[in-house]
Amino acid sequence: MLETLQQLPIDPILGLSAECRADPNPSKIDLTVGVYMDEQGLCPVFEAVQRAQQALVAEETSKAYMPPAGDEAFNLGMRRLVLGADSAALRDERVTSLQTTGGCGALRIGAEVIHAAAPRARVFVSDPSWPVHIPLLGSVGLQFQTYRYYDPASHGVDFDAMVADLKSAGAGDVVLLHGCCHNPSGADLSLQQWGAIADMAERQGFVPFVDMAYQGLGDGLERDAAGLRLLAQRLPEVLIAASCSKNMGLYRERTGLAIFVCRDAANARILLGHGLVAARRVYSMPPSHGALLAGRVLADDALTALWRSELAAMCERIKGLRSSLREKLEGACGRDFGFIECEKGMFSFLGLTAQQTLRLRREHSVYLLDSSRINVAGVNAGNIDYLADAVAQVL
């Protein structure tokens, strides 16, 4: 039976990262996977997380299963972090959540619940989007439609095209939105544009599903969540997939939360039941370690303050890298790279062809995605000149 299976193409992100790891060139640069790296090229553990971990290891007395919805402190802390401590939806108890295996687990649980409610729902996904969105949500059996989002000519959001394409989304449909730091483009909606999407959702009846994977890495924790909070305040239903991979550096701990903003408290209880049944069907119980750490950080004022300051420093460094990269690329290539400074979070497209990115890999050991998406956080003072010169040579 199994011998009938054919070789699959490599993963468009993880495959290139593996190729880079195997490259013996000491000058190689890995700008593939969205992982924050410091000046030394290392992905650090937050000091606040380390302190929480020391306390947890000293105090933990059991490895029995977690409760099905996960750690209570984590759920409470994350709901407040994402929706805002003063959220009216939280106050009205029309929000429920369950801890998931990373943001991906939250996307999957959200898709399962959508499918249970509306098996024929179409999910509208931005073009471009994270390449795993469609396979991850699609494995549940949902249908997809793309909406135009990024305009390579202006290096920004083509909002008129987005609105035109979303005109056909109606009741029973879902629109997947990136909460901030759009992956792969780094081009985000303005608050006014979020407001226009809320108007459309109200008028047309579609439900937004917000992937919040990078809160805190664009313009800070509060501003990054402003669009999502506006939707939650105005609309009866919003699904959210939140992740602590990037903003707490808990990548390998698979720490995420599926949040359902519902019509009322009774409906929230029903939604939780569906989320739990979906999780039981897929992986039974959530993992504990990352959520226990994040829960401790979010429940302790001193640890929260430390974590917020570490995250703010990370965010500032990414902004600084964006400015330096713009300057170096413009100096080396003699063309405008101003868009890199305007975009948010870890990613930007360099605007290269697939052939040019292949040459960067083959001739310079510089690894970025075929779409020319780079992880800005992989740039540092030691590799920025090499990177700019390599780009100039393939342009």
Peptide bond into 236 cis (omega under 30): no
Which is nearer to ligand LMR, 17 or 145 (by Cβ)?
Answer: 17
Q: Which residue among the candidates 111, 213, 294, 332 is catalytic per the annotation?
A: 213
Per CB under 6 A, 215 contacts ligand LMR:
no
Q: Are 346 and 290 in contact (CB under 8 A)?
A: no
Q: 95 by DSSP, 3-state: which?
A: strand
Per CB under 6 A, 186 contacts ligand LMR:
no
Q: How many degrees, rounded to 5, is the angle at CA 343 between CA 342 and CA 348?
A: 130
Single out the residue of 100, 101, 129, 183 in contact with ligand LMR (rule: CB under 6 A). 183
Shortest Cβ 330–ligand LMR spacing (Å) = 26
Helix pair angle (72-83, 289-299), 10° resolution: 60
From residue 200, give the alpha-carbon distance in Å to each of 144, 165, 169, 180: 19, 12, 9, 19
Query: 33: which 2 tokens?
Result: 């996977």
Which is nearer to ligand LMR, 132 or 277 (by Cβ)?
Answer: 132
Q: Which residue among the candidates 188, 211, 224, 300 is catalytic per the annotation?
A: 211
Number of residues interacting with ligand LMR: please give it, by CB under 6 A: 6
Single out the residue of 16, 34, 105, 340 in contact with ligand LMR (rule: CB under 6 A). 34
Shortest Cβ 106–ligand LMR spacing (Å) = 13
CB atoms within 10 A of CB 33: 20
Which is nearer to ligand LMR, 181 or 258 (by Cβ)?
Answer: 181
Single out the residue of 13, 48, 137, 239 in contact with ligand LMR (rule: CB under 6 A). 13
* Catalytic-residue membership of 211: yes
Per CB under 6 A, 180 contacts ligand LMR:
no
Single out the residue of 33, 106, 303, 321 in contact with ligand LMR (rule: CB under 6 A). 33
Shortest CA distance to 298 belongs to which of 62, 89, 92, 99?
99
Residue 246 has φ and ψ, to the nearest 5°, of -90, -50
* Catalytic-residue membership of 213: yes
CB atoms within 10 A of CB 48: 26
* Catalytic-residue membership of 246: yes
* Catalytic-residue membership of 130: yes
Q: Are 333 and 352 in contact (CB under 8 A)?
A: no
Single out the residue of 130, 206, 260, 349 in contact with ligand LMR (rule: CB under 6 A). 130
Q: How many degrees, rounded to 5, is the angle at CA 157 between CA 153 and CA 163?
A: 120
Shortest Cβ 78–ligand LMR spacing (Å) = 18
Which is nearer to ligand LMR, 35 or 73 (by Cβ)?
Answer: 35
Which is nearer to ligand LMR, 157 or 374 (by Cβ)?
Answer: 374
d(Cα 103, Cα 259) in Å, to the nearest integer?
Answer: 11
**Chain residues in the site for ligand LMR (CB under 6 A):** 13, 33-34, 130, 132, 183
Residues annotated as catalytic are 130, 211, 213, 246
